[in-house]
Each structure stands twice: as structure tokens, then as C-alpha cells.
Amino acid sequence: MKRDVRILLLGEPKVGKTSLIMSLVGEEFPEEVPSRAEEITIPADVTPEKVPTHIVDYSEAEQSDEILHEEIVKANVICVVYDVTKEATIEKIRTKWIPLVNGEAEKGKKVPVILVGNKSDLQSGSSMESILPIMNQFSEIETCVECSAKNLKNISELFYYAQKAVLHPTAPLYDPEEKELRPLCVRALSRIFTISDQDSDGILSDEELNFFQKSCFGSPLAPQALEDVKSVVWKNTGEGVQDNGLTLTGFLFLNTLFIQRGRHETTWTILRKFGCDDSLELTDDYLYPP
């Protein structure tokens, strides 16, 4: 897992990029806003994932295209900020900012993007009707957060989602265009299933599932929770449950469901517990324990 996270805020002038940063740090809306905030570093002990986080502002008026390109290359995640009250700033996401960030990137190597709709205090409705087609067009968009620098609504959530996009990325696990797990992820999870299937009968029994659950998450599932999991799998894929246990098909379906519901951290916890690095290869520490 990455040792730190670098977040870059981009977007049209006056959408409130700097105000968002200053509201996060100061926990109140700033009376005076500079044209650009200095780089902020948030220590590990005050972030949800316990990882140092660097937040970088961008000002088109102050910085050159060359500096912008350098910052994009250094960033782990990009927050593209728009003004929910100005449709033109939403259109620029599609026509300017995402092509600028990922226009030449290979599939699977694109920088994750969080869309940030600022100034929600000025609008009673939501901008999601305009945003959803853009999210469907660009698979690198992880999520969209509507917020307000003025009344602090969803400010900490915005930076949490940005952190999460780096520490628990979607791209290595799941192909959003095909709506399925990527081959390397299937391979890694299949290995984990085989290790967890202690009697090698091709089915995870309740005992094996609970041992797996305790190994990954520290505590077993309650009996009802275990039945609920199997019920969800059985309703969605008939081959997922057999002899009252979970098959490999069911195990893969369950992890697909976690990812589709935005719970990537669950699948990443499993993968990392069984020695996978961010590229889904086995770490040296796992292969050659001290």
C-alpha cells in the first residue's frame, strides 16, 4: 500500500478549489481567499487511513502549463472541481480537464479522478443529472461528491474519497466497461479461495468461511450474517452456493459485488492479508517471511 497520498485539485477559475482546501484545514470558510493555496500536508495520525496526505492547489493565472503537467504526473489522484450552479464548468470536465489528465494514458494506467461539485449551498437540487453521463463516459472517475466550502458540507468526505481512490484503487481489480473482475484479480482471489478451502472439496463450508473471515477481519461472521451472505450469492448466481457452502463462482461474485457497491477496501483487505501488493503480485515479505 502507498506510504503517502498526493491529491491535486483542478478546475476552472472561481469554482472554489482554494476555498475547499482552506475550509478543510481551518474548519471554517475563509474570509479572504488567496489565488492559490500553498501545498498542505496532513499528518498520518489525523487521516482516516493513517497515511500522510499532500493536497496541492492549482491556479491557471499563477502557474504555467508546464507546471500543471508536472503536478499531474506527480499526483496519485485528481479532484476536478466544478461549480454546481454553472453548467459551463461541468462541460469543461468532459472537454478539457479529463482529456488533459488522462488523454494519453493507457487503459488501466489512468490517474483516478474524483468529481467535486462545490457551492451546493447555492443550489437546492443536485447536479448529478448532468454528471452521470460524464461518469459513464470516463471509467477513471471513481465517484462524485457534492459539497460546500462555505458551510463545510462533505469537505472531509471529499478528501476521504480521494485517499480511498489511491489506497484502495478500482483499476487493478475491476473493468468498469466490461463490468467484471480483471484477470489478475480473478487469479489472486482464486488462489485465496484454494488456500481457504482447507479440505480441498471446492466449497467453503461455514467453518472455513469463518476461519477466512477471522483471518482477514479479526472476527467471525454471526450465523445469520453468514446465511445472509449465502442467500445474496444464491439469488444472483445459482452456481455460487453448493451443499450449503460457497463455491469459487460465489466467492468471485461476492468480491465483484463489494467493488460495484464502492467497498473496494474489503477486497483489498483480503488481497493484502494473503500477500498481494498493489499490482496483485505476491510481496517478498509474504513469499520469504523472516
Give the pLDDT confidence score for residue 75 in this predicted structure: 95
What is the tens place of the pLDDT at every residue in 233-261? 999 998 999 998 999 999 999 999 999 88
Mean pLDDT of 71-80: 95
The number of beta carbons lying within 10 Å of the beta carbon of residue 31 is 5
Alpha-carbon dihedral sign for residues 117, 123, 124, 129: negative
> pTM, whole model, 2 decimals?
0.82
Is residue 2's pLDDT more than 80? Answer: no
What is the tens place of the pLDDT at every residue in 24-63? 989 999 888 989 999 999 888 877 778 899 999 999 888 8
Strand partners for 115: 80, 144
Cα 169 to chain centroid, rounded: 5
Ramachandran sector of residue 11 (left: φ over 0; alpha: ψ -120 to 50; beta: rest): left
Q: What is the mean pLDDT of the chain?
A: 92
Q: Please give the Cα distance from 64 to 69 (Å, whole number).
A: 9
Residue type, 176: P
